[in-house]
Amino acid sequence: MPSCDRTNCPINTTMNQGSEYRMTSRLSAGAIALCLFASWPAFSEIVSTLEQQTRVAVTIYNENLALIKDSRTVAIPAGEQTLALRGVSARLRPETALLRNKNSGDRLDILEQNFDFDLLTPQTLLEKYVGKEVGLITVNPVSGIEEEHRATVLSTNNGTVVRLGDRIEANPPGRFVFDALPANLRDQPTLSVMLRSDSPKPKELQLSYLTGGLSWKADYVAELSGDDATLDLTGWVTLNNTSGTSYNNAHMQLVAGDINIVRQQMAARATHRMASLEMSADKAPKMSEESLFEYHLYTLNRPATIQNQQSKQVSLLAAANIPVTKELVLSGDHYYYRSSTTRIGEKLKFGVYVEVANEKDAGLGLALPKGVVRVYKRDASNAIQFVGEDRIGHTPNKDKIRLKLGEAFDVVADKKQTQFKVKERVMMSDVYESSYDIVVTNGKKSATDVFIREPIPGDWKIVSENFSHEKVNASTAQWRLQIPAESSVTLSYSTQVKI
């Protein structure tokens, strides 16, 4: 490899107004690469790149966390060596890194490891040269000939301050020329491992580590049938990669569940802003699902590549003709059962809910990761229309999926308290009696069933009613009413509450 001194491997930085810099070079891209490697530390270093990667497995968790298992074949001479593993995640958590030799009977001792994430940029290059000399190339305004001066970098805070001869200048015009790259600057994130090898055989190495910058989420798309009796459900998993490296032909797995993670203060350089993501989609095959500890593990049944700064979608599930229960629900409040009030509300809205059973007989039966379900329906002209969305939590097999899609337009209610009195006061308790009228109006051209749910505090009972109620739980009474087309129905009831 040729040597790289300042004359045949210059690293130039053009300084523009406002302290912005542009790297330039008089060499080809291949020569630049030679210069970069030649200017690393003088001690022996074995470089391993992604080209030596034989397999990579990625397990992504819900909390912006991933486990990477990176396998590579590397020739390592006997004795003490430094191995530079390039192409690791820029958000690698170094305390979690574990390098092991998969070759049996071939000893490899790990002595020290360093994570170099201080990456080569014009700014970081200047920072490393604070207190040192650099070249400063300017153009003679008369002759137009370039002239080089030697300058000492004094500061790079909010601009660049240099000592040029016997004077101090801030943001001098021209471009900087650096003699070499500092040893602790890398062009990409690198895990440097000092190790001792007993033999010169090629090693089958596996590097495992936890990293940020990889995340996933589930999204669902549902289409209701014309009569709202069934729906078709499609599930998608969206993978996001902002980790600073790519994962090629990776064995991809996802863990759904709330894993406890010890929160740590992250270094400023480990924080990355979200960039605009390239979107790609893989429709098939579906993911397989299995239990893992108290969580669920989803495995993509073929290798997948997710590039850095990319968002990828893969199919999770597809189910058709799932039975649906649709409900219009008016939910009350508990405050008016212990106080006198006049009109409680006019034109109160009914929430629109749909519910499906997560069961195999219903076409599902898969543990569903948390996510947003978006629901669509076709109009009279067969065009698809959005009718609402809701978020679901992790939903196990045999559980129910209940979605609130919005509020009904044509069904409203007027509610008022018709009577209230304190019946008696017994030591620390009061007994209240109150009565209510709820008038439900249906503006549709078809009959509609509605549910009225009233949370009633304390020890309560219904003393009179014109429709029978159901005690849903210890604090809730529910009435189911059928409202004829373009008509109204009044629910009247009285309660006795001991609080």
- Judged against a pLDDT cut of 60, whether residue 166 lies above it is answered with yes
Summarize the chain as % helix, strand, coil (round to 5): 5, 60, 35
- Judged against a pLDDT cut of 80, whether residue 307 lies above it is answered with yes
Per the model's pLDDT, the better-predicted residue between 257 and 437 turns out to be 437
Q: What confidence score (pLDDT) does residue 12 get?
A: 56
Which residues make Cβ contacts (< 8 Å) with residue 290, sequence separation at least 6?
296, 297, 299
- Judged against a pLDDT cut of 80, whether residue 300 lies above it is answered with yes
Three-state secondary-structure class, residue 344: strand
Q: With a threshold of 0.75, does the pTM exceed it?
A: no
Among 107, 45, 80, 43, which residue's Cα sits nearest to residue 196?
Answer: 80
Portion of the chain with pLDDT greater than 70, in percent: 86
Portion of the chain with pLDDT greater than 90, in percent: 67
- Judged against a pLDDT cut of 80, whether residue 6 lies above it is answered with no
Q: What confidence score (pLDDT) does residue 263 get?
A: 64
Give the pLDDT confidence of 111-126 residue by residue, as tens digits: 998 888 777 888 889 9
Q: What confidence score (pLDDT) does residue 116 get?
A: 80
- 3 state SS for 295-351: EEEEEECCCEEECCCEEEEEEEEEEEEEECEEEEEEECCCHHHCCCCCEEEEEEEEE
Residues 157, 256: Cα–Cα separation, whole Å: 45
- Residue 369 DSSP symbol: P
Give the pLDDT confidence of 187-227 residue by residue, as tens digits: 888 999 999 988 888 999 999 999 999 999 999 999 999 99
The half-sphere exposure of 220 on its side-chain side, counting CA atoms within 13 A, is 26
Strand-pair category, 470-473 with 230-241:
unpaired
Q: What confidence score (pLDDT) does residue 283 get?
A: 46
Which residues make Cβ contacts (< 8 Å) with residue 17, sequence separation at least 6?
none
- Judged against a pLDDT cut of 90, whether residue 234 lies above it is answered with yes
Burial category of 338 from C-beta neighbours within 10 Å (exposed 0-12, middle 13-18, buried 19 and up): middle
When pLDDT is averaged across residues 367-378 and rounded to a whole number, the result is 95
- Judged against a pLDDT cut of 90, whether residue 38 lies above it is answered with no
Between 24-33, 67-76, 175-184, 290-299, the lowest mean confidence (pLDDT) is in 24-33
How high is the mean pLDDT of the chain?
A: 85
Burial category of 30 from C-beta neighbours within 10 Å (exposed 0-12, middle 13-18, buried 19 and up): exposed
Confidence of residue 182 (pLDDT cuts 50, 70, 90): confident
CB atoms within 10 A of CB 246: 16
Residues 330, 442: Cα–Cα separation, whole Å: 13
Residues 231, 64: Cα–Cα separation, whole Å: 32
| Of the ranges 197-206, 310-319, 473-482, the best mean pLDDT one | 473-482
Q: What confidence score (pLDDT) does residue 149 get?
A: 92
Pair of tokens at residue 183 = 């040893």
Contact criterion met (CB below 8 Å) for 484 and 449: no
Q: Which helix (DSSP H) or strand (DSSP E) does residue 128 occupy? A: helix 122-128
Contact criterion met (CB below 8 Å) for 293 and 218: no
Give the pLDDT confidence of 263-296 residue by residue, as tens digits: 654 433 333 333 333 444 454 446 777 877 888 8
Which domains can be identified in the chain, with CATH numbers?
Answer: 11-52+77-199 (no CATH), 213-257+276-322+359-398 (no CATH), 325-358+400-498 (2.60.40)
Residues 458, 496: Cα–Cα separation, whole Å: 10
Give the pLDDT confidence of 374-405 residue by residue, as tens digits: 999 999 999 999 999 999 999 999 999 999 99
CB atoms within 10 A of CB 178: 23
Largest CA distance in the chain: 106
Which residues make Cβ contacts (< 8 Å) with residue 280, sequence separation at least 6?
310, 311, 312, 313
Per the model's pLDDT, the better-predicted residue between 282 and 261 turns out to be 261
- Residue 124 DSSP symbol: H
When pLDDT is averaged across residues 481-485 and rounded to a whole number, the result is 97
Pair of tokens at residue 376 = 């669509």
- Judged against a pLDDT cut of 90, whether residue 62 lies above it is answered with no
Pair of tokens at residue 90 = 């820029």
Q: What confidence score (pLDDT) does residue 41 get?
A: 41
In the chain the first and final C-alpha atoms are separated, in Å, by 88
Contact criterion met (CB below 8 Å) for 43 and 11: no
- Judged against a pLDDT cut of 80, whether residue 427 lies above it is answered with no
- Judged against a pLDDT cut of 60, whether residue 23 lies above it is answered with no
Q: Which long-range contacts (CB under 8 A, 24 or more apart) does 138-146 make?
A: 138/172, 138/173, 138/174, 139/174
